[in-house]
């Protein structure tokens, strides 16, 4: 590792989170571990392996490239691609034994140019229903009737029928209840299909933890695997964040009252102050929206001041710290913590945006509980 900025991923916490969720679910419900977007910044292959060992039955990704990466790493579990792929990529999906999300009859029509009905392998699909998120999926009976003949083809297996909720984390559950009602109605449509559907699923992390009665045949667990969940709303389960982010002071300087810090003179010192420079910036995913948040310098809080630049940011130090002092941007230092949900609140987002935005310039160090950083660096360090 050549750079003084790194992320640490606690694999033990990921495994324990999956085990905790697995025990929370009804015994008959399968668990899909969602590892898209490089497992929300935690590392897709490493997270997938831990999740599978902890009891995950399926893996979920966003794009075919992510699925192929998992297959090439030796993962054999069923993988569902949650975003529809281009029809001409169907042969590639069959080659890697991947399940596809489908949303329209015209997709099948185009796909047939690339997969004859009498081809050797069957294509496993999950039909996405749009019950109110307004993103992708079938919304009307007419759309469903158009796709039914294609789903009934002898080389197609309908492994799943699913939807996704828009407001599962909100206190007002009225819109969630409307979506549930719509999905129940759409499930009745599925009786038109002359073949069985293997899995009905509607719950992501928050819905599965808040409303276990929505578990159905399978749940799709993404954010909760990484310790991101509404703790105030879900009190009967305890999950732990697995991601921390660190750097070191590369320079410490004493500025006089009235001097400027950063581009556009965005900050002016009000007194004589110690300013520290940290080698992380928006090209690493630490967006300029993080201005005025805090970091921990050897356990002491220090505010980010001035505009965050591409490779560096500056902090207002409460006292002198020598160059090389450890800086924690996410995680614990001494008795203090920087939590992702508080950072997310600052930028008007969610915890998973924070971690998934950390770019591949930041090395990931994978460690297990009780293992030193040095041991982890020797055995499991990934630079993308």
pLDDT for 380: 52
- On whether 135 is known to bind a ligand per the annotation, the reply is yes
pLDDT for 378: 45
pLDDT for 383: 54
36 is catalytic: yes
Q: Is 306 left (phi over 0), alpha (psi -120 to 50) or beta?
A: left
pLDDT at 233 over 90: no
Per DSSP, the residues of 1-24 read --SSEEEEEEHHHHHHHHHHHHHH
Q: Do residues 47 and 35 make contact, with C-beta atoms less than 8 angstroms apart?
A: yes
The pLDDT of 68-77, averaged and rounded, is 98
Q: Do residues 25 and 364 make contact, with C-beta atoms less than 8 angstroms apart?
A: no
Indicate the pLDDT class of residue 377, thresholds 50, 70 and 90.
Answer: low
B/e letters for 139-161, b = 16+ CB within 10 Å, e = fewer, are eeeebbebbbebbeeeebbbbbb
> Cα 269 to chain center, whole Å?
38
Catalytic residue among 36, 49, 128, 307: 36
pLDDT at 160 over 50: yes
Pairwise CA distance, residues 215 & 201, whole Å: 7
Backbone dihedral angles phi then psi of residue 266, each to the nearest 5 degrees: -65, -20
Q: Do residues 75 and 49 make contact, with C-beta atoms less than 8 angstroms apart?
A: yes
pLDDT at 210 over 50: yes
321: which 2 tokens?
């710290």
Higher-confidence residue: 221 or 376? 221
Higher-confidence residue: 177 or 370? 177
pLDDT for 250: 98
267 is catalytic: no
- Angle between helices 64-72 and 44-53 in degrees, nearest 10: 70
pLDDT for 335: 93
Burial of 325 (0-12, 13-18, 19+ CB in 10 A): middle
pLDDT mean across residues, the chain: 94
- On whether 216 is known to bind a ligand per the annotation, the reply is no
The whole model's pTM is what? 0.93
Cα dist from 368 to 16, 116, 127, 375, 376, whole Å: 11, 48, 38, 10, 8
Indicate the pLDDT class of residue 231, thresholds 50, 70 and 90.
Answer: confident
Indicate the pLDDT class of residue 120, thresholds 50, 70 and 90.
Answer: confident
Q: Domains, the chain, ranges and CATH?
A: 11-226 (3.20.20.10), 243-382 (2.40.37.10)
The pLDDT of 29-39, averaged and rounded, is 98
Closest residue by Cα to residue 7 from 34, 35, 46, 50: 46
| Sign of torsion over alpha carbons 38, 39, 41, 47 | negative
Catalytic residue among 96, 121, 260, 263: 263
pLDDT at 100 over 80: yes
Pairwise CA distance, residues 89 & 158, whole Å: 18
């Amino acid at each position: 590792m050549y750079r003084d900025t790194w992320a640490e991923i606690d694999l033990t916490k990921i495994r324990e989170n999956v085990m905790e969720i697995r025990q929370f679910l009804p015994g008959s419900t399968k668990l899909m571990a969602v590892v898209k977007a490089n497992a929300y910044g935690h590392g897709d292959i490493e997270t997938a392996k831990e999740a599978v060992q902890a009891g995950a039955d399926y893996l979920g990704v966003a794009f075919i490239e992510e699925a192929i990466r998992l297959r090439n790493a030796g993962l054999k579990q069923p993988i569902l691609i949650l975003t529809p792929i281009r029809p001409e990529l169907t042969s590639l999906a069959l080659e890697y034994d991947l399940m596809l999300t489908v949303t329209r009859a015209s997709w099948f029509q185009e796909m047939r140019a690339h997969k004859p009905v009498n081809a050797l392998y069957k294509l496993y699909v999950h039909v996405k229903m749009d019950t109110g998120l307004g993103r992708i999926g079938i919304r009307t009976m007419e759309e469903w009737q158009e796709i039914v003949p294609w789903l009934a083809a002898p080389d197609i297996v309908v492994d799943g029928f699913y939807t996704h909720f828009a407001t599962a984390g909100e206190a007002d559950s009225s819109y969630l209840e409307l979506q549930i009602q719509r999905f129940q109605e759409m499930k009745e449509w599925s009786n038109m299909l002359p073949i069985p559907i293997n899995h009905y699923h509607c719950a992501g992390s928050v819905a599965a933890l808040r409303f276990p009665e929505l578990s159905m045949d399978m749940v799709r667990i993404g954010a909760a695997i990484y310790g991101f969940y509404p703790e105030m709303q879900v009190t009967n389960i305890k999950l732990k964040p697995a991601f921390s982010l660190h750097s070191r002071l590369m320079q410490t300087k004493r500025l006089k009252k009235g001097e400027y810090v950063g581009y556009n003179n965005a900050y002016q010192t009000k007194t004589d102050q110690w300013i520290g420079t940290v080698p992380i910036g928006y090209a690493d995913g630490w967006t300029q929206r993080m201005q005025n948040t805090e970091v921990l310098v050897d356990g002491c809080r220090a505010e980010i001041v001035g505009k965050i630049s591409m490779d560096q940011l500056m902090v207002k130090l409460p006292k002198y710290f020598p160059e090389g002092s450890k800086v924690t941007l996410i995680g614990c230092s001494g008795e203090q913590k920087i939590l992702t949900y508080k950072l997310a609140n600052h930028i008007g987002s969610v915890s998973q945006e924070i971690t998934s935005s950390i770019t591949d310039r930041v090395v990931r160090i994978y460690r297990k509980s009780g293992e030193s950083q040095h041991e982890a660096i020797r055995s499991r360090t990934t630079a993308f």
